[in-house]
Structure 1
Amino acid sequence: MNLFVFGLGYSVMTLVRRHRDRFTRVAGTVRTAGKAAALRAEGIAAHVFDGTSGGDEALLADLAAADALILSAPPGQAGDPALAAYGEAIAAAPRLIWIGYLSTIGVYGDRAGGRVDETAEPRPTNERLRRRVEAERAWLALGARTGKTVAIFRIAGIYGPGRNALVDLAAGTAHRIVKPGQVFNRIHVDDIAAVLAAALERAAPGAVYNLADDEPAPPQDVVAHAARLLGVAPPPEVPFEEADLSPMARSFWGANKRVSNQRIREELGVTLAYPTYREGLAALLAAGEGRTALPAEA
């Protein structure tokens, strides 16, 4: 299988590195020449794409040779960048039969702590999420028009190597913000890779899948658990109203829901390696996460 990716970032590169034997060729886009050079050293045909310009002949050749396409770049004000610049080439790609669009569970909006699954209608609460919903619909429409399988993957908060509460504690950047009743789902990046690998074979045309763990939990509990694992004192609790948050970060806290992952288990046959943050943090600790930046006595 030849894979093309718009946005060779953290999650998709985990898929590529964990399942490299699945792919004859991997190509895709990044935003800088330096990152493109680093990926080429790994055997990946990386192209620089600024999100606006099209017509790169080498990129078009790799698109035409692709059997599967993953889109992980977020939409901009002008819509989905890959669709805007290369939509016609994608629709006409002769070998392309499978397209996966990586979205966010944020499109469900606020459910006052209630459960939500893939049958729920999106309730985007800001322009950024409205653009996400529009991009989802545009890719599904392309699939319906061309007969290519298009699947949507709505992803919870991502953590994994280098991006977790252990690392934040070691760096002194962890915060324990408390908003009563607030919970978040999250998902380990290795589980994202496992879902995408399964979906390449089993995803139904037009399907939507939630990528989330089994236990939505208060964020302060995750930080406190990470501190216990490291044997350090957790940071003090900070009431949400007093927290120093950017407008984007504050918008995340405005949505409170419990996201079901039943469909990835029943339809894709995926068993999460890290069903809760406890298993995920324990594995990351065993791999050395969060230890190097701590004082020697810790």
Structure 2
Amino acid sequence: MNKTLFSFGHGYSAQALSRILAPKGWSIVGTTRDREGTAAIRASGAEPQIWPGEVPNLDGVTHLLISTAPSEEGDPVLAVLGDEIAKRAGQFIWVGYLSTTAVYGDHQGDWVDENTPPAPTAKRGRWRMLAEDQWSAIPGLPVHIFRLAGIYGPGRGPFSKLKRGGLRRIIKPGQVFSRIHVDDIAQILQASMAKPNPGSVYNVCDDEPVPPQDVIGYAAELQGLPLPPAVRFEEADLTPMARSFYNENKRVRNDRIKDELGVDLIYPNYRVGLEALRKGH
């Protein structure tokens, strides 16, 4: 059977997935807001489409991936194409929505899993929760929700920031973050596509939530650079967005991706991931 993926908001994570699928014969269309993004989409093995702009053709599409950022009104894809997608619900084998672990809100460092009731406190979490609900409410649509932790990978990590200088270790006692390498996001999505289970929710994170300063310190050690200065959270000059991340503190469990999808993480912790990035992988 021909497999065709239409990917709304074909950015960093979606491009990692298409680099796996394209060599296997998948047809992939990925949207971007402007023509500057088309080269990266083509390089990932997908056909770029400007959207909003060109009218998406969903004929023959078997799989949908949604990475577009929501607003206070919810998901922008559904705002424009919700009726058409609902009419075509039976056409799709798999629909994936990329959300965020921010929907869980603050748990003061305690563990959360997919059964933890969402309680978003930050704006980005509330908007994602609304979009999750909108997609899940479409009758007959095989929606799978992926709640992503902080994403890193080639081109997105602490090394370039360390070289430029000015990076600090923000210290907030007890604070931890979960993270996930982009290649693991891609393999988790592929595993779900191979084993659809509509209505499922998956936490997408590695095995080891840690304080952010540990990650920066280890990156500096790998590069033989001085340890960046430590700054107390209360004294740090942070943007409102950055500060909102520190206002939520939780450890995110990832058992479901392993037990249900059989995923064996390529980068189970930040040390393995950073060592690979330093080697150019």
Q: Per-residue deviation at 1:98?
A: 1.0
- Alignment CA distance shift 1:282-1:99 (3 Å): same
The within-5 A match list for 1:129-144 is 129-142=125-138
C-alpha separation in 2, matches of 1:231 and 1:258:
30
- Alignment CA distance shift 1:6-1:173 (3 Å): farther
Q: When the two structures are superposed, what TM-score results if normalisation uses the length of structure 2? A: 0.94
Q: Percent identity?
A: 50
Q: Per-residue deviation at 1:42?
A: 6.0
Give 3-state SS (helix, strand or coil) of 2:97's partner: strand
2:200 corresponds to 1:207: yes
2:143 corresponds to 1:150: yes
- Alignment CA distance shift 1:100-1:23 (3 Å): farther
Q: Where do 5+ consecutive residues of structure 2 fail to align?
A: none
The within-5 A match list for 1:46-195 is 46-50=48-52, 56-57=54-55, 59=56, 61=57, 63-93=58-88, 95-142=91-138, 145=139, 147-195=140-188
Q: Per-residue deviation at 1:177?
A: 0.5
- Alignment CA distance shift 1:108-1:42 (3 Å): closer
C-alpha separation in 2, matches of 1:37 and 1:245:
33
Give 3-state SS (helix, strand or coil) of 2:72's partner: coil
- Alignment CA distance shift 1:112-1:200 (3 Å): same
One-letter amino acid matched to 1:174:
L
Q: State the number of aligned residues.
A: 278
C-alpha separation in 2, matches of 1:268 and 1:23:
22
| Contact 1:112–1:257 (8 Å) recurs in 2 | yes
2:197 corresponds to 1:197: no
The within-5 A match list for 1:21-40 is 21-36=23-38, 39-40=41-42
Give 3-state SS (helix, strand or coil) of 1:203's partner: coil
Q: When the two structures are superposed, what TM-score results if normalisation uses the length of structure 1? A: 0.89
C-alpha separation in 1, matches of 2:115 and 2:36:
42
**Stretch deviating more after TM superposition (40-49 or 8-17):** 40-49
